[in-house]
Every structure is written in structure tokens, then in C-alpha cells.
Amino acid sequence: MVSIDRMTDDDVKEVAEIERQCFALPWSEKSFHDEMTNKLAVYFTAKEDGKCVGYAGFWNVSGDGGITNIAVLPAYRRRGVASMLMEEMIRAADALGIDLLTLEVRKSNLAAQELYKKYGFDIIGERKRYYSDNGEDAFIMTKILSK
Ligand SMILES: CC(C)(COP(=O)(O)OP(=O)(O)OC[C@H]1O[C@@H](n2cnc3c(N)ncnc32)[C@H](O)[C@@H]1OP(=O)(O)O)[C@@H](O)C(=O)NCCC(=O)NCCS
């Protein structure tokens, strides 16, 4: 069974490993340690039998929510883990009084775009050459949270 919890500093090692397996430009372990003391940051883990299999988080900047990342280990995908993380983030953002969630996603990342669309995010623009590894553009996607 998968459980969703607030991320703590003890999770950082495992989360950094997920990051390495999921992204071309992974955040360092130190970045995640720093996030754990960042008062703007709200992060969650997804754990199965005590093993961290996914994580997600956002920043709360004066009532605007910026999703930084969401990732699930390849062997645990298509089982609703990212959906659980997304639902928890939306609940947490709502509870904090956030009314807009924003994120960037690679144009080629159709799986993530489908996930975001499923949760009511719309493409509202793009950032040219946003990703430094291959110069790929990003779509900007937003979701307005209900009052
Ligand atoms: C994107 C990602 C987080 C999805 O995780 P997941 O746990 O497999 O997602 P879920 O099982 O909760 O799927 C939720 C929805 O996402 C969409 N989706 C997920 N994977 C998909 C795929 N390979 N192709 C198409 N749609 C997909 C579907 O709409 C799915 O809903 P459905 O199961 O009702 O069809 C995962 O593929 C991942 O970690 N990718 C690498 C990291 C990444 O790109 N993160 C996003 C950065 S912007």
C-alpha cells in the first residue's frame, strides 16, 4: 500500500536517488536538504512498504503555488502514485489559501502533460529553450483552485 507523507530530511537520500533515475538535470542531494529548511517549500513523499517510490513538491510564494517537481520511480509508474501525490499537493495548496498552481513541463513530456491535464491544468504559454541540457522549450501550465 502506498502512503503519502510530508517529506523530512531523513527522506532526502532516497529522494535524490529517485531524482537521478527520473531527470536529465537532477537536483542534487544538497538542494533537497536545503528545501527541507525552506519555509516556502511543501514536499511530499510516496512510500510503499517503507521505500520511497515517488515525491512531489511546490513553493508557496505569496499565495502562488509553483510546482517544482513530481517524479515516480520507473518500476512504480502507471499505478496511480503520481495521482496520489498530485491530490495531496492540491489539498495542501488549497489549505494554504493558494489560488493558482503553476508549473513548467518539457514539450516532449507527454506523460506528465497528461497527468497535469487530468488534474485540471491548462497550457497557458511557453518558455523558449527553458531546459539547458538540450535547449528544449517548456509549456507553462496552470490550475486555478476553487475558493
Ligand atoms: C509523469 C509521472 C510522474 C507519472 O507518474 P505515474 O505514477 O506513472 O502516474 P499515474 O499512474 O498517477 O497516472 C496519472 C495519469 O497520468 C497520465 N500518464 C501517466 N503516465 C503516462 C504515460 N506514460 N502516457 C500517457 N499518460 C500518462 C495518465 O493520464 C494517467 O491517468 P490514467 O492512469 O487514468 O490514464 C512519471 O511518469 C514520472 O516520474 N516521469 C519522470 C519524471 C517527470 O517527467 N516528471 C514531471 C516533470 S514536469
C-beta separation of 99 from 90 below 8 A: no
pLDDT value at position 98? Answer: 96
pLDDT value at position 146? Answer: 76
Best residue for ligand 1 mutational test, from 115, 121, 140, 143 (most atoms within 8 Å of Cβ): 115
What are the φ/ψ torsions at residue 104 (nearest 5 degrees)?
Answer: -115, 145
| pLDDT means over runs of 10, the chain (147 residues) | 97 98 95 96 97 98 95 98 98 96 97 98 98 96 89
Question: Is the beta carbon of 67 within 6 A of some atom in ligand 1?
Answer: no
Instruction: Report the amino acid identity of residue 68.
Output: T
How many angstroms separate the CA atoms of 81 and 144, rounded? 22
pLDDT value at position 15? Answer: 98
Atom of ligand 1 nearest to the CA of 83: 12
C-beta separation of 38 from 58 below 8 A: no
The domain segmentation of the chain, as residue ranges, is 2-104
What is the bridge-based pairing of β-strands 100-106 and 138-144?
Answer: antiparallel
Atom of ligand 1 nearest to the CA of 84: 12
* Other C-beta atoms lying within 10 Å of the C-beta of residue 54: 25
Q: The CATH number of 2-104 is which of 3.30.300.130, 3.40.630.30, 3.40.1030.10, 3.40.50.150? A: 3.40.630.30
Instruction: Report the amino acid identity of residue 33.
Output: H
Question: Is the beta carbon of 113 within 6 A of some atom in ligand 1?
Answer: no
